[in-house]
């Protein structure tokens, strides 16, 4: 090989993009995500016992990652550990919902105010693009992708506040509230209302109107709580029966 050929090969090698090495997620992380989604989306009902053997068969894994995932989900408030008796999906009372969303409303209101003042144009552009995708899922009636983007947008707004303490508090609250927030989408009227509120939040953030953005976010969170509470309450014709827990 002459020097010219060697130089040409070197030049081609320099121009050729190097493919990134994609490392698969650790098994326990995959199992945690799948179990979390099963609880949030109602595949595993509130109060339901979690049987290692059954879940291992469904997810086609051994019982060890199931047990590890169950312990982690317990720290998120999605699972109750029963000493010597396994675990079950945690139940949410009306009082739990009201307390939780009152706290979320306060955190997200303040985060919205800070985000309107501090977010970069890049932050805003990212939120706007996510909002548009979420609106398309809403128009198509696609609950699951809508909900995932909705969750990401709430996290994105808090991240744009540039306040690490708020982000840490918010992440803890949202892990507990995620299941209840998904249940609120069962009300079509509330879903339409919530999408309209997100439109207003984004308009206020775009205008850098911190006060308006914060107040709309607060009302949005409290409205979600009221929708969930309404779903938890038995209908009049169910008063003489044992009510089932409709929260996934």
Is the model more confident about 30 or about 127? 127
Q: In this predicted structure, what is the pLDDT of residue 156?
A: 97
Task: Give strand ranges (E) for the chain.
Answer: 49-50, 79-82, 86-89
Least confident of 15-19, 88-92, 123-127, 226-230: 15-19
**pTM to 2 decimal places:** 0.71
166-187, pLDDT tens digit by residue? 999 999 898 888 877 877 777 8
64-123, pLDDT tens digit by residue? 889 888 988 888 888 889 887 889 988 878 898 899 999 999 999 999 999 999 999 999
| Cβ neighbours of residue 244 closer than 8 Å, sequence gap 6 or more | none
Contact status, residue 181 vs residue 153, Cβ threshold 8 Å? no
Q: Determine how many CB atoms are found less than 10 A away from the CB of residue 216.
A: 22
Task: Give strand ranges (E) for 14-170.
Answer: 49-50, 79-82, 86-89
> Is a pLDDT exceeding 60 seen at residue 160?
yes
| DSSP tag of 91 | P
Task: Compute the distance between CA of residue 224 and CA of residue 237 in angstroms, rounded to an integer.
Answer: 25
> Is a pLDDT exceeding 60 seen at residue 47?
yes
Task: Compute the distance between CA of residue 80 and CA of residue 91 in angstroms, rounded to an integer.
Answer: 9
- Residue 239 sits at φ, ψ, to 5 deg, of -60, -30
Q: In this predicted structure, what is the pLDDT of residue 7?
A: 52
Domains in the chain with CATH codes: 27-89 (1.10.10.10), 94-232 (1.20.120.530)
Task: Compute the distance between CA of residue 58 and CA of residue 95 in angstroms, rounded to an integer.
Answer: 34
Q: Shortest CA distance to 226 belongs to which of 104, 96, 98, 105?
A: 98
> Is a pLDDT exceeding 70 seen at residue 19?
no
79 three-class SS = strand
Question: What is the average pLDDT across 133-156?
Answer: 95
Q: Would you place residue 199 in the very low, low, confident or very high pLDDT band (cuts 50, 70, 90)? A: very high
Question: What is the average pLDDT across 178-200?
Answer: 87
80 three-class SS = strand
């Amino acid at each position: 090989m002459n020097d010219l050929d060697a130089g040409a090969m070197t030049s081609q090698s320099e121009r050729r993009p190097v493919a990134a090495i994609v490392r698969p997620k650790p098994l326990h992380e995959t199992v945690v995500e799948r179990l979390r989604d099963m609880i949030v989306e109602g595949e595993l009902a509130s109060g339901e016992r979690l049987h290692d053997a059954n879940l291992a068969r469904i997810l086609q894994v051994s019982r060890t990652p199931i047990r590890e995932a169950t312990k982690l989900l317990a720290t998120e408030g999605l699972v109750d550990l029963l000493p010597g008796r396994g675990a079950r999906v945690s139940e949410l009372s009306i009082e739990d919902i009201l307390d939780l969303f009152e706290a979320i409303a306060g955190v997200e209101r303040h985060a919205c105010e800070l985000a309107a003042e501090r977010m970069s144009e890049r932050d805003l552009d990212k939120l706007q693009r996510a909002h548009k995708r979420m609106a398309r899922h809403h128009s198509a009636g696609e609950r699951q992708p809508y909900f995932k983007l909705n969750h990401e947008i709430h996290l994105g707004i808090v991240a744009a506040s540039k306040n690490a303490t708020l982000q840490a508090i918010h992440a803890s609250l949202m892990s507990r509230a995620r299941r209840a927030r998904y249940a609120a989408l069962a009300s079509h009227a509330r879903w339409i209302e919530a999408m309209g509120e997100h439109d207003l939040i984004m308009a206020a953030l775009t205008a850098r109107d911190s006060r308006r953005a914060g107040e709309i976010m607060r009302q949005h969170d409290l409205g979600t709580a009221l929708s969930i509470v309404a779903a938890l309450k038995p209908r009049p014709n169910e008063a003489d029966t044992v009510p089932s827990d409709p929260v996934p």
